[in-house]
Structure 1
Amino acid sequence: MANSAAGSNQSYLTQYIPPKGMYEQFEDESDYFEKVKEWGLSTKKEFWYKDRYQHCLVTIKGYEIFGETAEFNTLVIEFPDGTLTCIHPAYLKEMQSSSFGKEIIQQAPGDGNSAVGMKTKKPKAASSAETTVTAEKPAKKEKAKKEKATKLVLPEEKVHFTATVKQFALSWNHFNEDNDEVVVFENVRIEQAEPIEVGLAWGSHSKTLKKHELEPGQQLEFDGKIVKKSLPKGKDVEDESMLLDVSVAYKINNPSKIAKK
């Protein structure tokens, strides 16, 4: 803990990147453990943060979602003094290694390293070819606007679902570089005053779901939270029946109150 105390004196030199407004928070402990597992981190409450100026324990307060299909996350971590900053999950994972930091300490001051583990780069002037490509983008933007207009407006809170188990599949987890088993649902419907027909959705084959010994064709009802997140296709899968041949754009998190129909 001596390193942590010594580092706190220079913590003001760390380049913090605070979250932009509101960020996703964990619903409960099981949600937290499921997320850190997805990010390839160990299931614990504190992690080491290391840079040239401080070496201390931080906690994960939540995460930001980005990417066209919302498949990427940036973690929001909290330092002992309450300061929040954003960091890529893979970079925080690297910091847990005992060998991490030796090269950083030797770097010259003012190297531009930030809390997300990237160096800032000067903007590059657009070439004539890039200008031509940019001129062709308005048509694509119009198409994108039309596609967005047809997207479902998803509720932010937990809702009640009915669905049918379509199949089990393998999905590539780029954080831990391995395949995870998931459940793919069909005929997914959000049951409310004005029901929403979702169609296909997927979710982690968690311990909660495994307890119910689900089978393809099984009809279910449950509570959960739905988000826009595409199902990554599995890699190097020997059993091709564990690969899905259609795209799935929505993910269901933390199903509870599960009942077979």
Structure 2
Amino acid sequence: MAETPAETKELVHYIEPKGDYISFSDEEDYIAKGVEWKLFTARSVKKELLYKSGSFQTKVKLAGYEQYGNGLDTIVVEFDNGRLSCIHPAYLKEMQSSNFGKELLSGPAAPGSLTEVVQDAKGKGTEDPGKSSTEAPKATQKKEKSKSKKEPAKPKLDLPAEKVHFTATVKEFTAKMNHFTGEEDEVILLENVKVTSDPELLIGDAWCGYSKTLKKAELIEGDALEFDGKVVEKKYNKEIRYKVNNPSKLVKSTEA
């Protein structure tokens, strides 16, 4: 049976995110991250997951995640009482198993003594008394070893809300998995993307769908482009975080 918020407060050691964390940009981003963390499948998406600790369990929602160097994530979960806490993806995945913590369920746990193996912003973890440090998920141990190599997260850009004018260069034609259809969509990777409207803003790398309109332009790699469009925060991968939607009024000239 799920615990009440008051009971949860006594049984959970909260490790709150350090400052701002990354929220999901949309439903597709939520599904993609959940599938990546192996918490559910694209055909069976879960809006709530089990959080287990000692002699109790409750349900939590995925609020977002913190991201470190080398593609390492720490999930931020939200409890019914609104409190946030960080947890390693591999450990939250273990909690979904019916066999998780059975050895702890045979007896009562001391309130306030239960903690989960998580990564805080400094890369340090705390232990669940039911698990020794040697029993922590291998992914957690690997993350601790690589903490000295993590790079500072890039600051988020203050993106314009309206449609603006861009310059960019075609970098590559590729594809991106669409988790709703289960098929790959054709996309274009762009580099040197810059908003030239006032105020100017350097985006860097971005991506956009390879629409029928763009195909008519017969683009090739290296084409320098000018166009109107709207930029949003929607990742292609961990390095390319921004997408250009509905590019129009396209003008191109092949770079020498």
Q: TM-score, normalised by structure 1?
A: 0.55
% of aligned pairs identical? 33
Pair 5,107 (structure 1): closer, same or farther in 2 beyond 3 Å:
closer
Shift of 1:47: 1.2
- The structure 2 residue matched to 1:16, chosen from 11, 14, 31, is 14
Number of the residue aligned with 1:176: none
What amino acid does structure 2 have at the position aligned with 1:99? N
- Paired residues, what number? 200
Number of the residue aligned with 2:118: 116
Query: Any stretches of 5+ residues in structure 2 without a counterpart?
Result: 120-124, 134-150, 177-185, 251-256
d(CA) in 1 for partners of 2:199, 2:17: 34
d(CA) in 2 for partners of 1:33, 1:197: 29
What amino acid does structure 2 have at the position aligned with 1:82? G
d(CA) in 1 for partners of 2:18, 2:248: 38
d(CA) in 2 for partners of 1:40, 1:213: 36
Q: Is 1:223 aligned to residue 212 of structure 2? A: no
Pair 9,197 (structure 1): closer, same or farther in 2 beyond 3 Å:
closer
Number of the residue aligned with 2:90: 90
- How do 1:87-166 residues align onto structure 2 when only pairs under 5 Å count? 87-102=87-102, 105=105, 113-114=115-116, 116=118, 118-119=125-126, 155-158=157-160, 160=164, 161-166=166-171
d(CA) in 1 for partners of 2:15, 2:195: 37
Q: Give the structure with the larger helix fraction.
A: 1
Q: Which SS does the other structure have where 2:241 is aligned?
A: strand
- How do 1:54-73 residues align onto structure 2 when only pairs under 5 Å count? 54-67=56-69, 71-73=71-73
d(CA) in 2 for partners of 1:188, 1:56: 45
d(CA) in 2 for partners of 1:44, 1:260: 41
Contact 1:86–1:115, Cα closer than 8 Å, also in 2: no
d(CA) in 2 for partners of 1:212, 1:41: 35
Shift of 1:77: 0.9
Number of the residue aligned with 2:23: 25
- The structure 1 residue matched to 2:196, chosen from 180, 183, 191, is 191
Query: Any stretches of 5+ residues in structure 1 without a counterpart?
Result: 123-143, 172-180, 233-248
Number of the residue aligned with 2:180: none
d(CA) in 2 for partners of 1:108, 1:155: 48
Q: TM-score, normalised by structure 2?
A: 0.55
